[in-house]
Amino acid sequence: MGDCSISSHSTPRLLHLPLLLLLVIASVRGDQDYNPRQLLNEALGDKDWLVSVRRRIHENPELLYELHETSALIRRELDQLDISYSYPVAKTGIVAQIGSGSPPVVALRADMDALPLQELVEWDHKSKIDGKMHACGHDSHTTMLLGAAKLLSKRKHMLNGTVRLLFQPAEEGGAGALQMIKEGALGESQAIFGMHVQTGLPTGEMSTISGPAMAATSTFSVRISAKVPASSSETHSCVDPVLAASSTILALQHIISREADPLRSHVLSVTFMKSGASELDLIPPFVEFGGTLRSLTTDGINWLRHRLKEVVEGQTEVHRCEAEIDMHEERPMYPAVVNDHKLHDHAEKVLKLLVGPEKVKPGGKIMAGEDFAYYQQRIPGYYLGIGIKDEEIGSVHSVHSPYFFLDENVLPIGSALFAALAEMYLQDHHNQTKS
């Protein structure tokens, strides 16, 4: 009888167990009840509007920070949706806000700028600006974020926190993300999500990766000058910058083949070389060359930059020449994109609920650069890929191609994805707080 009794001191502890169990069940039910496919259905209903917005942006591409027409279009749409925003941020960027205005705060980012390319795709909504084209899909990123703004605005009373929408200029070489950060675009954001269209995946499929995802990048150019230029008939008495440049380029390749850890990803590519020769029988007074550096770690790119300078200076000294090295600080080095592990789990959960587990594919590391990395240096961030491949309509060409073409069926999918990533992030934090 004594073994079966419950003392008065143990009763409160046991009473806590059902309460904790109920809270856990409620939290689990919260995830089970949440269905982002509702967002997808709503976004599909907005498809005509999304296509119209994207085509207006595509027809009028703008570069770097000069996004006056693009920014004006976005602001008009935000005004019609009655969404508050700050402008200008980073010259032509916009930061909109939806929700309670209180923590937690999550950010969504889309880049807006085009490329200096002549569009070679003949269709009704081809670029109207010679030499400029949305060849990287930023017009679709911007449209999808605007679509997410519309979805979230309809559900703002349900948001358990705040969503900040970052419409960013100058991703293509201008480090617009860094300028956005300097001007307070992140606010009190605790996490940030971004995405990029991918022609390697069928439309509607997603790619995810945790950890290192995209390369840190940097560019350089070198000018090697002869101290004593002369005729090619007097090679014994002159200094030859062609020979010095050739030896230097070969020596630079040894950095990758003989110094870099082969288990780490490093790239050093010389992409151009030219001389100041005016006649075939004269040794030129100088030779110029340049290229790109890439690494999957920010430390790696810093090491490559340091070694490049040492090798160039050493080789030109051996050949009795002078070297000028330009690391193009006006086009800042981009850090590596490194996806947060916890946000990876969150993204995979949302994506599988949105499009089904069979359409969520493991992504691979790529050596392209992306200034989204600057945000990840400040707060946890996650960058994912969304497929646009459709051979029937020609959506197969890689980004930065003058033949790049977008399957517009991706627009509502991306809109719903942006909205679901933010909404479920806030919901998860709300559930954790209740627990």
317 part of a folded domain: yes
Of 260, 293, 326, the one marking the end of a domain is 326
In the predicted model, what is the mean pLDDT of residues 348-358? 96
| pLDDT classification of 376: cutoffs 50, 70, 90 | very high
Return d(Cα 156, Cα 148) in angstroms, integer. 12
% pLDDT > 90, the chain: 79
For 298-339, the pLDDT digits (tens) are 999 999 999 999 999 999 999 999 999 999 988 889 999 999
Claim to verify: residue 348 and residue 283 sit in the same structural domain: no
Please report, for the domain that includes residue 98, its CATH number.
3.40.630.10
In the predicted model, what is the mean pLDDT of residues 246-267? 91
Claim to verify: residue 86 and residue 235 sit in the same structural domain: no
> Is 138 marked within a binding site?
yes
Does residue 165 register a pLDDT over 70? yes
pLDDT of residue 402: 97
Tell me how many domains the chain contains. Answer: 2
The residue range of the domain holding 411 is 36-214+336-434
pLDDT of residue 228: 59
181 part of a folded domain: yes
2 part of a folded domain: no
385 part of a folded domain: yes
Return d(Cα 295, Cα 9) in angstroms, integer. 62
For 46-86, the pLDDT digits (tens) are 999 999 999 999 999 999 999 999 999 999 999 999 999 99
> Is 196 marked within a binding site?
yes
- Which residues on neighbouring strands pair with residue 433, listed in sequence order? none
Claim to verify: residue 239 and residue 197 sit in the same structural domain: no
152 part of a folded domain: yes
**Average pLDDT along the chain:** 90
pLDDT of residue 27: 44
28 part of a folded domain: no
Tokens coding 206: 């997603």
> Is 429 marked within a binding site?
no
CA angle, corner 101, sides to 99 and 102, nearest 5? 110
1 part of a folded domain: no
Claim to verify: residue 180 and residue 305 sit in the same structural domain: no
Claim to verify: residue 204 and residue 221 sit in the same structural domain: no
Claim to verify: residue 222 and residue 207 sit in the same structural domain: no
Please report, for the domain that includes residue 230, its CATH number.
3.30.70.360
Claim to verify: residue 130 and residue 182 sit in the same structural domain: yes
Claim to verify: residue 194 and residue 253 sit in the same structural domain: no
189 part of a folded domain: yes
Claim to verify: residue 76 and residue 192 sit in the same structural domain: yes
Between residues 281 and 195, the one the model is more confident about: 195
For 6-60, the pLDDT digits (tens) are 333 444 444 454 444 444 444 444 444 568 889 999 999 999 999 999 999 999 9
Does residue 5 register a pLDDT over 50? no
pLDDT of residue 338: 96
Of 290, 305, 326, the one marking the end of a domain is 326
Claim to verify: residue 281 and residue 208 sit in the same structural domain: no
Of 305, 326, 347, the one marking the end of a domain is 326
Claim to verify: residue 300 and residue 344 sit in the same structural domain: no
Using alpha carbons, select from 291, 289, 296 the residue that is nearest to residue 274. 289
Claim to verify: residue 167 and residue 291 sit in the same structural domain: no
* pTM: predicted TM-score of the whole model, two decimal places: 0.86
| pLDDT classification of 3: cutoffs 50, 70, 90 | very low
pLDDT of residue 11: 42
Does residue 124 register a pLDDT over 90? yes
| pLDDT classification of 263: cutoffs 50, 70, 90 | confident
pLDDT of residue 29: 43
pLDDT of residue 235: 60
> Is 400 marked within a binding site?
yes
